[in-house]
Structure formats: C-alpha cells, structure tokens
Amino acid sequence: MLTSFSAGAGGATPPALTNLKWLNSRRLRIWAGCDFPDFLPKQVEKIKDPYARKLASRIERIPVNFSKGCVMSSCVKPKEQKEANPVVLLHGFDSTCLEWRYTLPLLEEAGLETWAVDILGWGFSDLGRLPSCDVAYKRDHLYQLWSTYIKRPMVLVGPSLGSAVAIDFSVHYPEAVDRLVLIDASVYAEGTGKLATLPKAVAYAGVYLLKSIPLRLYAASLAFNGLPISTCIDWTKIGRLHCLLPWWEDATVNFMISGGYNVIDQIKHVKHKTLIIWGEDDQIIDYKLGVRLHCEIPSATLRQIPQCGHIPHVQKPDIVSRLITEFVQSDQSQKAKPDSVSTVSVPMITGTCTSRYLAYPN
C-alpha cells in the first residue's frame, strides 16, 4: 500500500519556520534555559532552537557492556514505561538523537514509550577507549543496550542510513524487533565503496572536511526545502555538535575504512511489518528507491509526504508522529474508510507490486 499525505494544518512547515507556534499550541513546556549534561560540548549553549535545547538536556549516558568492554552510551530514555512495545528511534549517518527534537515529544504526547538511541561511533557516547565502530560492533552494541534496558520487542525506527542499521539489526535479531519504520531509507548503497580503500591520511582529511561548517550548511540546504539562513545555521550547529567530541574523527574514519553498511542482500529477509515513509521532494535519495524497497519487503506500506525533503521527522514532525503512532496502534485502529480511497497507477522499478494512494484525512 502506498499513501500520499497532504500537508494539513500543523504539518505544512517545520516548527522553526513558523516561530514554533505549532508545537507550542500542543502545550509542550519548553524552557529557554536548560541544564545540559556536562559531557556535551560547551557549544550546545550557542544553540537557539528551544526543542533541541530541551532534548539535549535529557540526554544521558548509560553503561552498555558488549564484546569490546563497557561504553557509556548516550540516549534519551522514556519518561515512563508503557504496556505496549516501545518505540526506539535511531538516527542517520554521522548524526545524533537530536534529530528527534520535534517528533519525540509528539510521540510521548501520543502515549508511546519512546527511546532515542545514539548509534555506536556517532552521537554523544564516551568513546575515550575507542572500540571498533564497524557494522558488527554497532549491531552488537545496540543489541546489548536493548537486552539490558529495553528487553521487549521494539518498533525500530531508522531514518536515512539508520534504515540500513535497522534492517541489519532486525535480520540478525528478529526477536528484538516488533516492526520497522524506515524513513527516506539509504539502503541501496554498497557500503562506503572506494572510501574504504583510502590511505588513513586521506581518510582523515576527508573527515575533517565532513565536519566543516560550509559542507554542513550545504547538506542542510539539500535536506530541507526553503529553510531560512538563520534556521539553517542553527540546525547546522545542532547537526555538527557531536563532531566536536575528541574521538569523533577516529570513530568516523574507523567506520569509513571498515566498509560501512551493505544491506542490499538482507532486504529480502526482512519479515517484520514495515512502514516506509518518504519525503516527496527528497534531493538526496531518489523516491523510486522507496518504491523499490516497498516492493522488496513483503509486509511493507509506503507513505509519501508532499513538500518534504530528506528528513521528514525534522521538517514535518506532526505528520511523521501521526504515521508512527497509527502504525504502532494499527492492530487496533487501522480501519480504512472507503470514501477516503482513490487509486492511481505507480511505476514499479522491479518485481510485481500493487500500490495505491490513499488520501489522508486532515
């Protein structure tokens, strides 16, 4: 099933583009002054976005024991435990749990037990004794965090490269996953490709460039549509905050030369019910790959968000939170109304797949 969402009230523009009136209307308490954990880089104080500041104040480190020892691992823990299976939010390549600054509060408001977890090698974990940050260790780290603290099948949410992390994890540890949510999924790249063969000196030079403000600003302009320059600068500060930790370069180079994620052959082994969310105007990953992914995962639903780029959970948090909430609760509440359905033909990339556009009731 493929569904197209109209941008109704509240989801049409990012909160930062509407002076945050939309999220404020939901009576979320936001403080301008926040107490930040001391392990965050001091530059966190320069971030203006109150939702990023609020979520940053909730980040904590918890001990995770795995094959390479103990890592004090950064995450945002849920405010309370619920009866239903928890939602666990991953992030994209070289990012942090702060990606979820707008959507996580809405998921909590909807009554979902919600974790935001930093993937090993990125985020704000203490990597003073640097473990390997390749795919196997990232997977092992996430499993040990799950088995120690979460302990129930989870709704695993992966945006961009986080989708590859989620697919890899679900295939290796199916018992730990209830269902998957994949957002603008980066799952058809063959790892880091030729970057894995670079001499270390060249790799470090490339990583230094990756941290640069001009490159990050350019990436933000690609990921989001029509972002004011002041917001773009602030979001760039949020997106590169973890790069200021002393071990970031080493961890990133370690991942790069390890070969990275190549999950192309694993996709057909995904057995979990899966929701695929895609921004219609994604300038980074072609929407046709979302259609292909929908066709290759047997129990998948594809839902498209118009006027939205590569990171819907930042740009359209209202719609993304509704989609995830409905998906989590779908066993009880997924009842399509006949008068809300219209069908169009959708070009398929591979295989045989029947898709429909469903008008979302605003």
Active site residues: 160, 282, 310
Q: What is the 3-state secondary structure (H, E, C) of the chain?
A: CEEECCCCCCCCCCHHHHCCHHHHCCCCCCCCCCCCCCCCCHHHHHCCCHHHHHHHHHCEEEEEEECCEEEEEEEECCCCCCCCCCEEECCCCCCCHHHHCCHHHHHHHCCCCEEEECCCCCCCCCCCCCCCCCHHHHHHHHHHHHHHHHCCCEEEEEECHHHHHHHHHHHHCHHHEEEEEEECCCCCCCCCHHHHHCCHHHHHHHHHHHHCHHHHHHHHHHHCCCCCHHHHHHHHHHHCHHHHCCCHHHHHHHHHHHCCCCCCCCHHHCCCEEEEEEECCCCCCCHHHHHHHHHHCCCEEEEEECCCCCCHHHHCHHHHHHHHHHHHCHHHHCCCCHHHECCCCCCCCCCCCCCCCEECCC
Beta carbons of 160 and 186 less than 8 angstroms apart: yes
First-last CA distance in the chain: 19
Beta bridge partners of 87: 114, 155
